């Protein structure tokens, strides 16, 4: 891919990516946050703090267009890159792109390049962003509409795992020569006994800190 090729990236992640204030609102411990709700698109001025690193690590000559969003699940993320294959040199097919990814990540313990069915992805297939919650795994998918030359690259991961702290801990272990089969498993909503208030019809959209002080303390102890 030419370094000056225009690239767009869409990412949607669980509300834990919004920091402690958003987590407290979504889990009923009071406060307000502009991203609290079932689904919120943001950074609509098309400027985001992660764009410079996306440009730097990808080698792109121009800043990618990035459109992030946050949803009402605690952990889990989908990152999507749409491509028009006819705009790329030599017009690669989705199968060509899948083969490149498969060769690059062959043998990697935490990155899985998922199977590709040329020309016929199952119409009923859907991707749940939270499917890898609690893990340090990443799944890479390639989808296509061959007749239109449309290709979609998708990465699925836990935004707190491979998307953040899991990868950070793994990188520290690699640098220190300590990686020895660790799983880097994280706790998830069922582990923590959490139900986001945005998904519970029996609870208000926000609540006071006094509403569940014991649960908050237990949650913090288990994270320590």
pLDDT in tens, 128-140: 999 999 888 999 9
* Residue 14 φ then ψ, to 5°: -70, 160
pLDDT average, residue stretch 166-190: 73
DSSP string, 4-49: T---EEEEEEEGGGG-HHHHHHHTTSS---TT-SSEEE--TTS--T
Write down how long the chain is: 224
Whole-structure pTM value: 0.79
Is the pLDDT at 224 greater than 50? The verdict is no
For residue 74, pLDDT beyond 50: yes
CA distance 218 to 216: 5
Residue 207 has pLDDT above 70, yes or no: no
pLDDT at position 178, please? 80
Q: Residue 163's pLDDT is what?
A: 67
Determine what percent of the chain is predicted with pLDDT higher than 70: 77
pLDDT in tens, 99-151: 999 999 999 888 999 998 776 666 668 899 999 998 889 999 999 998 899 99
pLDDT band per the 50, 70, 90 thresholds, residue 33: very high
């Amino acid at each position: 891919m030419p370094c000056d090729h225009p690239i767009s990236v869409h990412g949607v992640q669980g509300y834990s990516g919004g920091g402690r204030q958003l987590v407290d609102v979504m889990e009923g411990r009071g406060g307000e946050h502009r991203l609290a709700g079932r689904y919120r698109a943001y950074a609509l001025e098309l400027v985001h703090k992660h764009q410079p690193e996306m440009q730097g690590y990808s080698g792109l000559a121009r800043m990618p267009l990035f459109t992030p969003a946050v949803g009402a699940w605690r952990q889990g993320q989908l990152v999507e890159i749409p491509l028009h294959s006819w705009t790329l040199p030599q017009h690669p097919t989705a199968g060509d792109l899948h083969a490149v990814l498969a060769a690059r990540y062959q043998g990697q313990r935490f990155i899985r390049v998922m199977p590709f069915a040329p020309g016929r992805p199952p119409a009923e297939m859907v991707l749940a962003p939270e499917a890898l919650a609690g893990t340090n795994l990443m799944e890479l998918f390639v989808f296509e509409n061959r007749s239109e030359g449309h290709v979609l690259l998708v990465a699925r991961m836990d935004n707190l795992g491979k998307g953040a702290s899991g990868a950070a801990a793994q990188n520290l272990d690699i640098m220190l020569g300590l990686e020895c089969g660790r799983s880097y498993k994280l706790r998830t909503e069922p582990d923590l006994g959490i139900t986001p208030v945005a998904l519970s019809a029996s609870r208000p959209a926000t609540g006071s800190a006094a509403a569940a002080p014991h649960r908050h303390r237990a949650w913090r102890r288990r994270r320590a």
